[in-house]
Amino acid sequence: MLDNIKKYQVRLGSKSPRRRELMKELRIPFGIVSLGGVDEKYPDDIDPMKAAEYVAKIKADAYLPHLDEDDLLITADTMVILGDRIMGKPHNAEEAMEMLRSLSGCTHYVTTGVTITTKGRQVAFTSVTEVDFAEISDEEARYYIDNYSPFDKAGAYGIQEWIGCVAVAGIRGSYYNVMGLPVHRLYQELKKF
């Protein structure tokens, strides 16, 4: 499978355990690389639907000087968008609660921007999933915050966790995109690379 990329050492530039888990499911041998201190800021006036891809490119560009000729680097960034508001990772329990209250009873979008980068080429794309959130009580939100780890997740929730079972009423698009890596689209892009 994917004979076209066998000449490369595939690297995942991510600290996310979910992205690692999803990459393993593709059965592509890969290693993990991690740079600290990458500035993931995006312009204030950016189209919210393009922000995740913008940040994925920033991450890729930070790694570029460290890549060998046979390295193929995959970077990604996931964001939750409600209206025109971009929700990143909450910094504390209060911010997580505010995010979950905002999402309660609403439909939002989850975007994941992905880059595939070598020394000589870069391909970038964005995957979008529409997520319907049921209304949740403060008690349910607090239970989730106290018993799970919303602080490393855009929008303060993980669809694969308890909150996904009780609050996600429906999705249109990739479930795995909401987890943090649109593996179907990534596989298709790697086939063409």
Q: What is the DSSP letter of 151?
A: G
Q: What is the DSSP letter of 105?
A: T
SS3 51: helix
Q: Among all chains, which residue has been given the structure tokens 């921007």? A: 113
Which of 150, 114, 93 is closest to 19 using CA atoms?
Answer: 114
SS3 86: strand
In what helix (H) or strand (E) does residue 77 lie, and over which residues does it extend?
Answer: strand 71-82
Q: What is the DSSP string of 23-92?
A: HHHTT---EEE--S-------TTS-HHHHHHHHHHHHHHHHGGG--TTEEEEEEEEEEEETTEEE---SS
77 is catalytic: yes
At residue 162, φ and ψ (nearest 5 deg) are: -50, -45
Catalytic residue among 3, 68, 77, 84: 77
Catalytic positions are 77
